[in-house]
Structure 1
Amino acid sequence: MLLPLSSQNITQYLHASGLCSLEDGNLDLSRLPGSSKKNFNLLVTLGNNRQLLIKQEHHQENAANLHEFFNEWLFHQLLKQFPVLGNIAAIASLVVHYDEDNSLLVRNYLSEYLELGSFYQHHQSFPTEIATAIGTTIAALHRATFQRREYRDFMATAPQGQYRYNFYNPAQGIESLTPDIFGAVPKSALQFYSVYQRDESLESAIADLAYEWKPCCLTHNDLTLNNILLHSRWDKLDNCLVRLIDWEACAWGDPAFDLGTLIASYLTIWLSSLVVDVTLELEESLQLAIIPLEAIQPSLLTLIQAYLNTFPAILEHRPDFIERVTQFAGLGLIHQIQAKINYQQQFDNTDMCTLQVAQNLLTMPEKSIQTVFGVTQAEIIQPMATQHQLTQPQKSQKLIPLYYEKTRLRGC
């Protein structure tokens, strides 16, 4: 039976679990601001100034998955089983305790780090050194686990009493709509679903992503700026600038999805600063952004270049890798809009502009690459192609199909 934790019984639980002792004295407890709607989050400061983050899933009677933290615990076990991954400092596990029966996870809290999203919001500057550290870290994880069956089999482990038939494909569009939608979302959001349903090219592009999804390495699957921590003295360090956290969604997956999700998070900084008015066209709004895309582009370009320099073999495996990253960035923006509608019950003109940008990224990825990175795909690949003797991706002939060869289901 689930034991709901609170500030009243957490001390007793930590003592019983051996996570603190009487020498720690009175514990300092505080709820973290902005805690997830799905989780109860509590920050505990022990007597030696060590801090623990306690996370517990809210118990819901018909919850589809009461083991959300299992993947993070599994990732923790993976790093212990394969030390070569543990040598990647930026992904080192922070987990110290997992209680499956009570859907509870305890991890160390890094007080000297801050969320990267908060850093960008406060400073409104985007140092390329940070982007280099992130790109190198992600690539190191993908490269170390690429096509390695022992890692794939380990990640296929299921919670006790459950089965995993396959890995989840995150390349999903919006689920099929029912009349219930009219009472579940604000009236303004119906425009979002209307535009999405009418755009057959958008639906086809997402169906292509789902069809071509080929898991080949370990992926984070929720790589947003808020899940990357930046050291408070990053500009004085030679390493350990960043830490990747919250591995609850990690699985065997497509590396392009990780990069696309992260780039979507960067693009949100630009898109959320748009000057939106009914009298302005989309291009005008984009140009009038308080934080222009040109300010973020150097970091985006550095990110993809650092990734490819560390893991150039991905271009041999997927010559269309950069296009897929761009498309996944568009899909990430759509997922962000949908999450805002579901959890905040909000949809405004800025979200409509974001949807239009997402459409371009998904349906015109080759053209959109220059928009995102500031250079063409050939200019991104050329240095890697020269250094690592890679072949340039061949452009397929553009023909108008008389029929769609792959089955397309709404919600895929």
Structure 2
Amino acid sequence: MILSLSSQNVIQYLQNVGLCSLEDGTLYESELPENSGNNRNLLVNLPDNRKLLVKQERRLNFDSNIHQFFNEWLFHQLLQKFPVLGNISELPSLLLHFDEENSIIVRSYLSEYVELGKFYQNNSIFPTEIATAIGTTLAGLHCSTFQRREYQDFMDTAPQGQFRYHFYNPAQGIGSINQDIFSKIPTEALKFHVLYQRYESLESAIADLAYEWKPCCLTHNDLQLNNILVHSRWQQLDNCLMRVIDWEACAWGDPAFDLGTLLASYIKIWLSSLVVDPSLELEESLNLAMIPLEIIQPSMLAVIRAYLQAFRLILDERQDFILRVIQFTGLALTHQIQNMIECCKYFDNTHICMLEVAKNLLISPEESVLTVFGSSETEILQSVKGYHKIVQSEEKQLLRIYYGKTRLRGC
């Protein structure tokens, strides 16, 4: 029988698996932090000021994806099996226990760290030092595992007695509308599917991304701002200590996808601050954002520059790497809209703006680089020390990543 964890039995479970003692049981207390849609999260406070995060997958009849926690456990096993990867072993929090039968993992809770998304929201600042640390750290993960077959084979390991695909390709578009969708999403969200399917060029660009998918290193595959932690005393430290959590989707993949997912989270900060009204043109709404894009651009530019400086080899592998990052940024925005609709049953005019931005990132990446980063592709590449590439001397003119004359009509 599958055990279902709760605040009433989590202490007993930890005692049974040897993570806390029976004698100290009465001194423990547990609290329920924010839970994700897929997992039940329990934060347990120990008497010695240690904290444990206990996570269990919410799986109806336990017939959904069974590899998520296994992936995170496998990633930690990879770090232990190959000590040469010590430079990335500090990225995740320590995994203390994995219960495959009950789909439970227990890891140390990093109480001195704060989610980067909350840091930005609470402080309304975007220090380039943090962005530079993120780019360098992510490049370290990708570069350390780049084209290493032994790491790839290890990450392809399947749970005992089960089968898994060798490659997971997340470069997928939105599925077609069928009659079942009417009972799953709010009526106003149907406009998203109508708009999405109206643009053949959008679906074509996503199909090209999927076709050109070339897994070459270990990727996180869910690198949103809420999965990146920054130390609460980052300004007092010699280096900006970063941590990355929730490795449930990690797999052998395309590094541009990780960067695109990250940049999409930054752009979402801008888009979520829009002043949206049916009487305003889209360009006006974007220009009236409470958090202007120009405030966020330096951080996005710092991420890509630091990443390329630490992982110049990727430019030899993919000379169109920056353009692919831009396209994956657009793809991640469409996935964020879809997740909001499916999980929160919510859709509004802001998401229509987001779809317009995503579309232009996907179908016109060359023209979108300057708008996203505030620098052209040529300028970014020239800032990478030791990298030389023949580039066109003619600079591209800035082209907005939205349509200036598009008007939101009563939705």
Same fold (TM over 0.5): yes
User: What is the letter of the counterpart of residue 29 of structure 2?
Assistant: D
Q: How do 1:7-406 and structure 2 match up within 5 A?
A: 7-25=7-25, 26-33=27-34, 35-61=35-61, 63-88=63-88, 90-239=90-239, 241-384=241-384, 387-392=385-390
CA contact (8 A) 1:256 1:328 kept: yes
Q: Name the CA distance, whole Å, in 2 between partners of 1:13 and 1:318.
A: 48
**Superposition deviation, residue 280 in structure 1:** 1.2
CA contact (8 A) 1:117 1:225 kept: yes
Share of identical aligned residues, percent?
Answer: 65
Secondary structure class of the residue paired with 1:247? coil
**Superposition deviation, residue 64 in structure 1:** 2.6
Q: Name the CA distance, whole Å, in 2 between partners of 1:4 and 1:213.
A: 38
Secondary structure class of the residue paired with 1:176? coil
**Superposition deviation, residue 393 in structure 1:** 6.1
**Superposition deviation, residue 357 in structure 1:** 0.3
Unaligned runs of 5+ in 2: 394-411
Deviations 1:188-211 (A, max 9, x none): 111110011110000000000000
**Superposition deviation, residue 240 in structure 1:** 5.1
CA contact (8 A) 1:275 1:290 kept: yes
CA contact (8 A) 1:188 1:347 kept: yes
Deviations 1:76-108 (A, max 9, x none): 101111122232354144210000011000000
User: What is the letter of the counterpart of residue 172 of structure 1?
Assistant: Q
Q: Name the CA distance, whole Å, in 1 between partners of 2:233 and 2:89.
A: 16
**Superposition deviation, residue 175 in structure 1:** 1.5
**Superposition deviation, residue 74 in structure 1:** 0.3
**Superposition deviation, residue 163 in structure 1:** 1.3
Q: Name the CA distance, whole Å, in 2 between partners of 1:24 and 1:393.
A: 66
TM-score (structure 2 length as normaliser) = 0.93
Unaligned runs of 5+ in 1: 396-412
Computed over aligned residues only, the root mean square deviation of the Cα atoms, in angstroms, reads 1.4
Q: Name the CA distance, whole Å, in 1 between partners of 2:270 and 2:111.
A: 28
Residue 408 of structure 2 is matched in structure 1 by none
User: What is the letter of the counterpart of residue 83 of structure 1?
Assistant: P
CA contact (8 A) 1:90 1:244 kept: no
Secondary structure class of the residue paired with 1:19? coil
Secondary structure class of the residue paired with 1:218? strand
CA contact (8 A) 2:312 2:387 kept: no
Aligned positions, number: 392
CA contact (8 A) 1:54 1:107 kept: yes
Q: Name the CA distance, whole Å, in 1 between partners of 2:53 and 2:297.
A: 34
